[in-house]
Structure formats: structure tokens, C-alpha cells
Chain A
């Protein structure tokens, strides 16, 4: 398997623009996670899905952030409108139900909002 695939790897946008980050989890994994990594706050869980259903979105910073998982092989994290403080590396991770603590992370998307 190719692992968790995220796109794009880098995104540069201007304040106020809509940003969509994409993730393809590992086939057969039934949990998907979105994280944000910043210098100030470290690695934070934003939201996670189980069998395509959002289970906990308490980490989503505000209403400008939304995430969807229309099917088992695809998820998006959208920021609208984007702000400079959203600049960070966003990671997607997936895991198989039985694997408990083993989450497999993608390579991340580095977002810069100017």
C-alpha cells in the first residue's frame, strides 16, 4: 500500500481565500484523523471519523474549518475564509480498528496563508 496520501504537499494562498486539503487513507482503515502542527501548539487533533462518520470535532478551531468524508477512500479539510494564523502543517492519519494506538500519518500539507 502507498500509505496515507495527502495533497497538495504545499499550498500558498492569500487571506480570505478558500483552501481545501485532501486525504486518501490506507485501504481498509476505518478511522481517519486530521491534525494540525504549529510551532506554538505542537500537534493537535482537529477531528476524526469512524466509518466515514465524524465522531469528534471538538478540536476544530472555529466555524471556518470543516471536514468531510464522502467515502472510505477520501476526506477533505476545508478552511473558508483562510487567515494567516491558519498557517501550519496539516496531517491526515488513518488506522485500522483493531490496531488501537497505531495511526499511520501522511506526509502532510504545509499551508501558508499570506
Chain B
């Protein structure tokens, strides 16, 4: 099964909002509300930011929000801060009972 499709990079200035898209198919994102988003600064393990499309684990700021429409999920970061600069990955459950990830998006805070 092919990876989910994410833009290689996005950027924004402090205080602005950015949105990262994650496009799949009817066999993954389109079939389940089991989309997650991860934040990974260089040299560290990934951190779960969003799960089940729009739920936030305890401790994740509400500046981070998730949504889904059809086969595409999105992560929006509002009030961009310098520490948000990192790689971001989406993932989804699939109809094959597996989990697939996106290729990752590098967020640069200008």
C-alpha cells in the first residue's frame, strides 16, 4: 500500500497559521476516522499531536487542530511559534488492518 501524500515543506511566520494536508484513498483516510499527526524535531522521537482526526492528547496546545474531508486530512497550527519547527507526519488505519504514514512535511518558521 502506498504512503499517504503530504507536501514536502510548508512555512509560515510567527503568529500566522499554517495547514498541512495529508491525502489518502478510500481504503484508508476515506474509510476510518483514525487519522493521527506527529511532530518530530530533529534527533528526537516523534510526538503524537492529534489522533482520531481531531482529538488532542493531554498537554498538546489547542493551537493544534485536525480535520478530515473525504480522503484528505489536515493539520492546522495557529499562532505559529519557533518551537513548532519540525517534521510532521500523518498516519491512517487502513482496510487491510494496517497503519500507513505520510512521507512527512518539513515546517519552517520564518
A binds B: no
